[in-house]
Amino acid sequence: MTELPQSTERSLGLVIDLDTCVGCHACVISCKGWNTENYGVPLSDIDAYGGDPHGTFLNRVHAYEVQPRDGGPAQTVHFPKSCLHCEDAPCVTVCPTGASYKRVEDGIVLVNEDACMGCGLCAWACPYGARELDQLAGVMKKCTLCVDRIYNENLPEEDRIPSCVRTCPAGARHFGDLSDPESDVSKLVAERGGMDLMPEQGTRPVNKYLPPRPRDREDTIDILAPFLDPVIEEPTGFLGWLDKALGAVSGANTDKKGAS
């Protein structure tokens, strides 16, 4: 089963817009919620209410700062990352038990938890950190592309998309068939120059990332700016004395509170 299919009938996946993502982590939470209540064992948390909480997530949002080489202002980029459902998925072929597989009908990469022995080799083989071994259940967890939503006829039509896509308030996540050049996601990728992550690893990811658009640059500040008064002025004279005195009193009050 861990032989990869020669080709898949469709290539379902996500297109993530790095220009629009605001880094709110809503997709992280909705993913955790949906996948804890549905497919497979729950995504566990360790020491959830203690000093060192950590747990299993299928989707995480990084944040990077990019410093342009010409010295312009740095730009923050929020960067959601989940399984890219690679065409040449190295995580699948290394699996000794046959638990990991890529589906012929839609290209989704899944783990059959009933067969997984928790060796972790697939997580080692994935360049993207898309697989996490659940620390309580001891089986491998990864993004299922919400396979239990997208074909689920018990859900209203508009909910038959991945939970993270449905939740994203900025519309930064798109779902569709990337093997069909006429699909909305394929058009988006063509239009915006969708890219692969770490192409040198040869995994041929299905998921694509849309690069941030160039920011507007304000090269000169308003010519009148130097003539504007500063908004905040340090008070002088009596007001200055009052300010200091009140500061000292409130400081003393805080100290007393601290002592009691």
Partner 1 sequence: MHPAPSVILFSTLSGMGFGLLAWLGIAQPAVFGTTAFGYYFLAYALAVGGLLASTFHLGNAKNAIKAFSQWKTSWLSREAWISVLALIVMGLYASGEIFLNTSYVLLGYLGAALSLTTVFTTSMIYAQLKTVPRWNHPTTTLLFLLYAVSGGALLSGHATLAAVLLLLTGAVQLFSWGMADGRFAARGSTIETATGLGFMGKVRQFEPPHTGTNYLLHEMVYVVGRKHARTLRVLAIVAGSIVPALLIATWRTSLVVLALAAVVHLLGLLAQRWLFFAEAEHVVGLYYDKR
Going by C-alpha positions, the residue among 155, 151, 162, 154 that lies closest to residue 34 is 162
Residue span 7-36 as binding mask against partner 1, x where in contact by CB under 8 A, dash where not: -----------x---------x--------
Interface characters, 174-203, with ligand SF4 (x: CB under 6 A): -----------------------------x
Out of 24, 26, 29, 119, point to the residue binding partner 1 (CB under 8 A).
Answer: 119
Report what 68 binds from partner 1, ligand SF4, none; CB cut-off 5-8 Å by kind: partner 1
Give the side-chain half-sphere CA count within 13 A for 256.
6
Residue type, 115: A
Query: Which 23-42 residues touch ligand SF4, going by CB under 6 A?
Result: 31, 34-35
145 binds, among partner 1, ligand SF4, none (CB under 5 to 8 A by kind): ligand SF4
Go through 28-62 and write b for each residue having 16 or more CB atoms within 10 A of its CB, e for each that does not.
bebbbebbbeebbebbebeeeeeeeeebbbbbbbe
Report the C-alpha dihedral over residues 124, 12, 214, 30, rounded to 10 degrees.
Answer: -70
Longest dimension (CA), the chain: 83
CB nearer to partner 1: pick between 58 and 108 = 58
Q: Which is nearer to partner 1, 16 or 150 (CB)?
A: 16
Assess 137 for contact with partner 1 (CB under 8 A).
Answer: yes
Q: Which does 172 bind (CB under 5 to 8 A by kind): ligand SF4, partner 1, none?
A: none
